[in-house]
């Protein structure tokens, strides 16, 4: 088994991770965007979200077909459990947040049931859900709650990676940042 992630896994990790961070920032300010730009901002948010959804399904497929590197042998059992649970949580969130956003848009009644234009290139179909204001609101609540859970999980993930690098001095962070590989062994 390799000590490193594949290049595809590394690219997907950083591409999806940076997109999620951008989406969280965007989601926090969407309501405050001037009306002249709000429609465009929401369309961009939806387009990036659907892209994250597609990339996340590909990443999950990649993860299931390419074994990740083993965790360091000196990790405590609770750390191994926490690492596995964190990764499962990320997959649930990377798929659940875009799905809940897609569902809330799909259930929105007029005048809020705008078509989803993926980066202005083509119309993305709505999910086959009942058009209902309350249902759309419920999906919005789920979407928002999952986004806040992502912020918490992201903080734990970054904190754990930094702990591995600076305190444990192992190669966990270097496996996702190849330019650190030499530094981890010093």
Residue spans of the domains in the chain: they are 7-184
The pLDDT score that the predictor gives to residue 183 is: 46
Q: With residue 45 as reference, give the H or E element that holds it.
A: helix 35-65
Instruction: Write b or e for each residue in 85-118: b if 16 or more Cβ atoms lie within 10 A of its Cβ, otherwise e.
Output: eeeebbeebbbbbbbbbbbbbbbbeeeeeeebbe
The pLDDT score that the predictor gives to residue 1 is: 62
Q: pTM for this structure?
A: 0.93
CATH of 7-184, one of 1.20.950, 2.40.160, 1.10.540, 2.60.120: 1.20.950
Nearest to 144 by CA among 89, 86, 84, 97: 97
Each residue's pLDDT, cut to its tens digit, for the chain (186 residues) gives 678 899 999 999 999 999 999 999 999 999 999 999 999 999 999 999 999 999 999 999 999 999 999 999 999 999 999 999 999 999 999 999 999 999 999 999 998 889 999 999 999 999 999 999 999 999 999 999 999 999 999 999 999 999 999 999 999 999 999 888 654 444
Pair 27, 69: CB distance under 8 Å: no
Nearest to 46 by CA among 141, 128, 143, 131: 143
The pLDDT score that the predictor gives to residue 182 is: 59
Nearest to 132 by CA among 158, 161, 112, 116: 112
């Amino acid at each position: 088994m390799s000590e490193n992630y594949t290049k595809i896994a590394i690219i997907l990790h950083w591409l999806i991770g940076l997109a999620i961070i951008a989406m969280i920032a965007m989601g926090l300010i969407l309501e405050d965007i001037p009306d002249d730009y709000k429609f465009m901002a929401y369309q961009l948010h939806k387009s990036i979200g659907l892209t994250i959804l597609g990339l996340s399904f590909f990443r999950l497929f990649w993860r299931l077909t390419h074994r990740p590197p083993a965790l360091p042998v000196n990790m405590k059992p609770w750390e191994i459990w926490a690492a596995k649970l964190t990764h499962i949580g990320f997959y649930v969130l990377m798929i659940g947040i875009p799905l809940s956003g897609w569902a809330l848009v799909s259930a929105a009644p007029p005048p809020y049931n705008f078509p989803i234009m993926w980066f202005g290139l083509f119309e993305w179909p709505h999910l086959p859900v009942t058009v209902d204001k309350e249902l759309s609101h419920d999906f919005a609540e789920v979407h928002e709650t999952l986004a806040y859970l992502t912020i918490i999980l992201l903080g734990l993930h970054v904190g754990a990676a930094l702990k591995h690098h600076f305190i444990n001095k192992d190669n966990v962070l270097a496996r996702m940042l190849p330019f650190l590989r030499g530094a981890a062994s010093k």
